[in-house]
C-alpha cells in the first residue's frame, strides 16, 4: 500500500502543483478582475465627470438662453440639478469612496483614487468645484427664474473654470485608466506566469514521464534482449538435451536388446532355480518325511526293544536252565534203562542223581522259572505283535487311502507310536466324544496327530506333564484338541509356526516343515488348524475337519507332500 503510494508520489505531487498553480492564478485573477471592475467603474465615472461638467455648462447656458428668452427654465434646471447631483457625488466618491449612481442610474461602489498625483488633481478639482457648487446650487435652488447675477456668476465661473475642471477630470480619468491598465497588465502577467508555471509543470511532468517511459522502454528492451539470450541458451540446451535424448534412446534401445537377452537368460535361470528349489523342496520334504519316519522308527525301536530285551533274556536264561532239564531227562532215561535191565546198583545211583537234580530244580525254582519265562516271553511277543499291528494301523498301508475313518482309532494308534516320547514326559488324558468319524485320509491325519502329540511332549519340561486330547463333533465338523501344559509358544512365534521352515529347534533337529505339512494336510481336508498358547501355561492346537467332504474332486492323496503343492499357508 505504502509502496503504491510511493509509486504515485511523483504524479500526486505534480498534479498538486498543477492545481496549486491554476487555483492561485484563478484566485488572483478573480480578485484582480473584481478590482478591475471597480477600477473600470472609476474610469468610467471619472470620464463621465468630463461629460457632466460639459453638461453642467450646457444646462447653465440653456437656462441663460431660456431665461433671456423668457421661456421656462424648469427643464434645464432639472437636468442641471440631476447632473450636479451626480457630479458632486461622483467627485466625492472619487475622493472618499462611496456608493454613487452609476451609468445606468444604478448604484455602484466607487473606490477613491489611489495615486498621489490623482489625489492632488482631485484636490485641485475640489478647489474649483466647491465655489462652483455654491454658485450652481443657487441656480438650481432658484424658483422660476434665476437671479441674473447668480446666473451670470455661475456662467462666468463655468466658462472660466470649466476647461480646467475638464482638464483635471481628464487627468484623473487617465490616472484611473493608467491604474486600470497597470492592473490588467499585472493580471495578464499573473495569468501568463500561471500558464507558464502550469506549462512548466506540464512539461516537467511530460519530460519526467517520457524519461520514465524511455527508461522503461530501455528496461523492456534490455529484458527482451535478455529474454532473447535466454531463449537462445534454452534453445541450445534443448537441442543438446534432444541430442542426448536421442543418444539415450539409442542406448536404451541397445539396453532393451540386452535386457531381452538377459530376460530370456533370467527366465532360463529362474526355471533352473525353480527346478533347483523344487528339488531342494523335494529333498526337504523328503527329509521331513524321513525325520518323521525316523522319529516313528526310533519310537518303535524303543517300544520293541523293551519286550525284545526281556524275551531275549528269558531265552538266554532258558538256554542255561535247559541244561538242568536236559540232565533230568538224561538221568530219567538212564534210570529207565537201569530199571529195564534190573541193574540195582545203577538204579540206586541214577535214582540218587535224579533226586539230586530234582532237588536242585526245586530249590532253584527252575520249573516255575521256566514256565514264567515262557509266559512272560509270550507276553513280550504279544506286545511286539501289537506294536507291529499298530504300526500297520498307523500307516494304514493295507487300507483305502480315503475313507470314513474312526478318528479315535487314529489317535490311539498314534499315541502308541509316540508312547516312548510321551511316556517319560506326560500323562495322556483322553476326553473322547462317544463316536467321532470323518471322511479323511487316515494315514495323513495320523501324521498330523503324531506331529502335534510329539510337539506337545517336547514342549513339556517339568515332571507334571499332561497331554489332553479332546474330541467332539460340532456342526458337522470333527473337532480334535491337543493341549499340553508345557512351556508355551511366545506371541511373536505364534503367527509363524505354520510357516514352512520356521523352527525354534536347534539346527539338525527338525526341518521346520512339520506344522506346515500339518497345515496343508488339514487344508486339503477343507478343515482348519488353529493354535492358542500362553507362555508358561501351555498350548492348544485345535483341528476341525468336516465329517463329510462335499468336494471330493480335489481330494489329495500323495501329493500333499509332493513338491508341486503350495507350501505357503494362507
Partner 1 sequence: MGALSNILLVDDEPLLLSSLSRVLRLHYTVFTAENGMQALDIVQRHNIKVIVSDQRMPGMLGHELLGKVKEISPNTVRLLLTGYSDLDAVLNSVNAGQIFRYINKPCSVEKLREMIELGVQIHDRIVAMQSEAKLAKTQPNALPDPPATLLFVGYAPSEVQRLTSKLVGQFIIEQAKDIDEAFAALNRASVSVLISELNFGEHDGIDFLNAVKKEFPHTVTIILTDMIDATMAIRSINEAQVFRYITKPAGEEAFAFVIEEAVKRHRAYQTTPHQNIKYTAEAISPDQNFHTSAEKLRAKLLAARIALSKPR
As measured in angstroms, the least distance from the Cβ of 287 to partner 1 is 18
From 273-281, 418-426, 483-491, 548-556, span contacting partner 1 (CB under 8 A) = 418-426
Residues 308, 409, 473, 567: which binds partner 1 (CB under 8 A)? 308
How many residues are given for the chain?
570
Least Cβ distance, residue 301 to partner 1 (angstroms): 5
Tell whether residue 298 is a contact of partner 1 (CB under 8 A): yes
Q: In DSSP terms, which residues pair with 25 in a beta bridge?
A: none
CB of 485 to partner 1, least distance (A): 16
Rounded Cα gap, residues 142 and 58, in angstroms:
18
Considering the rule CB under 8 A, would residue 510 count as an interface residue with partner 1? no
342 binds partner 1 (CB under 8 A): no
Distance from C-alpha of 226 to C-alpha of 3, rounded to nearest angstrom:
27
Cell numbers describing residue 61: 447656458
Binding flag, residue 381, partner 1 (CB under 8 A):
no
SS3 for 19?
Answer: helix
What is the DSSP secondary-structure string of 541-569?
A: EEEEEESS-S--TT--SGGGGSTTS----
Which range touches partner 1 (CB under 8 A), out of 26-34, 56-64, 351-359, 417-425? 417-425
Return the axis-axis angle of helices 407-417 and 442-459, rounded to nearest 10°: 50
CB of 441 to partner 1, least distance (A): 29
Q: Quote the least distance from Cβ 380 to partner 1, whole Å.
A: 6
How many residues lie near partner 1 (CB under 8 A)? 27
Assess 486 for contact with partner 1 (CB under 8 A).
no
- Tell me how far apart the alpha carbons of residues 24 and 44 are, in angstroms, rounded to a whole number: 29
Alpha helices per DSSP H over 342-432: 344-363, 366-395, 407-417, 419-423
**Alpha carbons within 13 A on the beta-carbon side of 266:** 6
d(CA 93, CA 109): 8
Report in angstroms how near the CB of residue 310 gets to partner 1 at its nearest. 4
Contact present, 58 and 71 (Cβ < 8 Å)? no
310 binds partner 1, rule: CB under 8 A = yes
Residue 92 vs 376, nearer CB to partner 1: 376
Pick the binder of partner 1 from 307, 410, 486, 488 (CB under 8 A).
307
Nearer Cβ to partner 1 (63/370): 370
Cα gap 51→476, rounded to integer Å = 150
Shortest reach from residue 364's CB to partner 1, in Å: 7
364 sits near partner 1 (criterion: CB under 8 A):
yes
Reference 493, options 507, 505, 510, 511; nearest CA is 505
* Binder of partner 1 out of 312, 323, 362, 530 (CB under 8 A): 312
302 near partner 1 (CB under 8 A) = yes
Distance set, CA 378 to CA 144, 207, 312, 388 (Å): 203, 138, 11, 15
By beta-carbon proximity to partner 1, the closer residue of 283 and 365 is 365
CA dist 346 and 364 (Å) reads 26
Our CB check for partner 1 shows the closer of 242 and 306 to be 306
Tell me the closest approach of the beta carbon of residue 292 to partner 1, in angstroms.
16
325 makes contact with partner 1 (CB under 8 A): no
> Of 116, 320, 398, 558, which one interacts with partner 1 (CB under 8 A)?
320
**Burial state string for 509-523 with b = 16 or more CB within 10 A and e = fewer than 16:** ebbbbbbbbbbbbbb
Closest separation in Å from C-beta 502 to partner 1 = 23
Using the minimum distance from each CB to partner 1, give the nearer residue, 278 or 302: 302
State the Cα–Cα distance between residues 503 and 512, nearest whole angstrom: 5
Among the listed ranges 5-13, 367-375, 446-454, 536-544, the one in contact with partner 1 (CB under 8 A) is: 367-375
372 is an interface residue for partner 1 by CB under 8 A: yes
3-class secondary structure, 524: helix
Residue 390: CB minimum distance to partner 1, A: 18
Which of 72, 85, 79 lies closest to 55, judged by CA? 79
Interaction between residue 384 and partner 1 (CB under 8 A): no
Between residue 3 and residue 42, which ones bind partner 1 under the rule CB under 8 A?
none
Which of 313, 332, 542, 547 is in the footprint of partner 1 by CB under 8 A? Answer: 313
| Smallest distance from partner 1 to CB 356, Å | 17
Strand partners, 405: 438
Query: What b/e sequence results for 197-231 when a residue is b if at least 16 CB atoms lie within 10 Å of its CB, and e otherwise?
Result: bbeebeeebeeeeeeeeeeeeeeeeeeeeeeeeee
Detail the DSSP E strand segments found in 107-199.
Answer: 107-110
Three-state DSSP state, 406 = strand
Instruction: Kindly tell me which of 197 and 384 has the beta carbon lying closer to partner 1.
Output: 384
327 binds partner 1 (CB under 8 A): no
Among 403, 423, 487, 496, binds partner 1 (CB under 8 A): 423
Residue 408 CB, shortest distance to partner 1, in Å, is 24
Among residue numbers 257 through 276, which ones bind partner 1 (CB under 8 A)?
Answer: none
Specify burial of residue 317 (Cβ count, 10 A radius: 0-12, 13-18, 19+).
middle
Q: Are 25 and 190 in contact (CB under 8 A)?
A: yes
Q: Which is nearer to partner 1, 29 or 458 (CB)?
A: 458
Binding stretches for partner 1 (CB under 8 A) = 298, 301-302, 305-314, 316-317, 320, 364, 369, 372-373, 376, 379-380, 420, 423-424, 463
Amino acid at each position: 500500500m505504502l509502496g503504491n503510494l510511493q509509486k504515485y508520489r511523483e504524479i500526486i505531487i505534480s498534479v498538486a502543483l498543477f492545481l496549486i498553480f491554476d487555483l492561485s492564478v484563478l484566485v488572483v485573477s478573480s480578485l484582480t478582475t473584481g478590482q478591475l471592475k471597480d477600477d473600470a467603474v472609476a474610469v468610467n465615472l471619472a470620464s463621465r465627470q468630463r461629460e457632466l461638467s460639459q453638461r453642467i455648462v450646457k444646462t447653465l447656458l440653456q437656462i441663460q438662453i431660456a431665461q433671456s428668452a423668457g421661456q421656462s427654465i424648469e427643464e434645464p434646471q432639472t437636468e442641471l440639478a440631476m447632473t450636479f447631483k451626480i457630479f458632486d457625488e461622483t467627485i466625492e466618491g472619487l475622493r472618499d469612496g462611496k456608493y454613487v449612481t452609476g451609468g445606468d442610474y444604478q448604484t455602484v461602489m466607487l473606490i477613491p483614487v489611489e495615486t498621489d498625483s490623482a489625489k492632488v488633481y482631485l484636490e485641485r478639482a475640489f478647489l474649483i468645484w466647491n465655489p462652483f457648487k455654491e454658485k450652481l446650487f443657487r441656480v438650481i435652488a432658484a424658483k422660476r427664474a434665476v437671479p441674473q447675477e447668480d446666473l451670470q456668476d455661475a456662467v462666468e465661473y463655468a466658462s472660466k473654470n470649466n476647461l480646467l475642471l475638464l482638464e483635471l477630470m481628464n487627468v484623473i480619468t487617465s490616472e484611473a485608466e493608467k491604474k486600470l491598465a497597470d492592473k490588467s497588465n499585472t493580471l495578464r502577467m499573473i495569468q501568463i506566469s500561471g500558464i507558464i508555471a502550469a506549462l512548466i509543470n506540464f512539461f516537467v511532468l511530460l519530460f519526467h514521464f517520457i524519461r520514465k517511459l524511455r527508461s522503461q522502454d530501455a528496461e523492456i528492451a534490455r529484458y527482451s534482449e535478455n529474454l532473447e539470450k535466454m531463449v537462445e541458451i534454452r534453445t541450445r540446451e534443448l537441442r543438446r538435451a534432444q541430442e542426448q535424448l536421442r543418444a539415450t534412446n539409442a542406448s536404451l534401445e541397445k539396453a532393451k536388446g540386452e535386457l531381452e537377452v538377459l530376460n530370456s537368460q533370467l527366465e532360463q535361470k529362474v526355471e533352473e532355480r525353480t527346478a533347483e528349489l523344487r528339488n531342494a523342496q523335494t529333498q526337504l520334504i523328503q527329509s521331513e518325511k524321513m525325520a518323521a519316519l525316523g522319529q516313528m522308527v526310533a519310537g518303535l525301536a524303543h517300544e520293541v526293544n523293551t519286550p525284545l530285551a526281556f524275551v531275549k533274556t528269558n531265552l538266554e536264561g532258558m538256554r542255561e536252565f535247559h541244561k538242568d532239564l536236559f540232565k533230568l531227562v538224561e538221568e530219567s532215561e538212564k534210570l529207565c534203562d537201569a530199571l529195564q535191565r534190573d541193574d540195582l546198583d545203577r538204579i540206586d545211583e541214577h535214582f540218587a542223581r535224579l533226586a539230586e537234580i530234582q532237588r536242585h530244580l526245586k530249590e532253584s525254582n527252575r520249573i516255575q522259572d521256566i514256565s514264567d519265562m515262557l509266559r512272560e516271553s509270550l507276553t513280550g511277543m504279544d506286545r511286539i505283535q501289537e506294536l507291529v499291528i499298530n504300526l500297520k494301523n498307523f500307516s494304514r498301508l493295507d487300507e483305502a487311502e480315503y475313507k470314513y475313518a474312526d478318528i479315535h482309532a487314529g489317535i490311539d494308534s498314534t499315541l502308541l507310536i509316540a508312547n516312548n516320547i510321551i511316556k517319560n514326559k506326560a500323562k495322556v488324558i483322553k476326553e473322547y466324544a462317544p463316536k467321532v468319524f470323518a471322511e479323511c485320509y487316515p494315514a495323513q491325519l495320523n501324521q498330523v496327530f503324531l506331529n502335534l502329540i510329539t510337539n506337545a511332549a517336547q514342549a513339556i519340561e517339568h515332571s507334571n506333564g499332561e497331554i489332553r486330547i479332546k474330541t467332539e463333533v460340532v456342526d458337522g465338523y470333527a473337532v480334535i484338541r491337543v493341549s499340553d501344559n508345557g512351556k508355551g509358544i511366545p506371541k511373536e512365534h505364534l503367527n509363524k509356526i505354520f510357516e514352512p521352515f520356521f523352527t525354534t529347534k536347534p539346527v539338525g533337529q527338525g526341518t521346520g516343515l512339520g506344522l506346515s505339512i500339518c497345515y496343508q494336510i488339514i487344508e486339503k481336508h477343507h478343515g482348519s488348524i488353529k493354535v492358542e498358547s500362553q507362555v508358561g501355561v501351555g498350548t492348544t492346537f485345535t483341528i476341525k475337519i468336516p465329517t463329510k467332504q462335499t468336494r471330493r474332486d480335489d481330494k489329495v492323496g500323495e501329493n500333499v507332500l509332493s513338491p508341486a503343492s503350495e507350501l505357503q499357508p494362507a
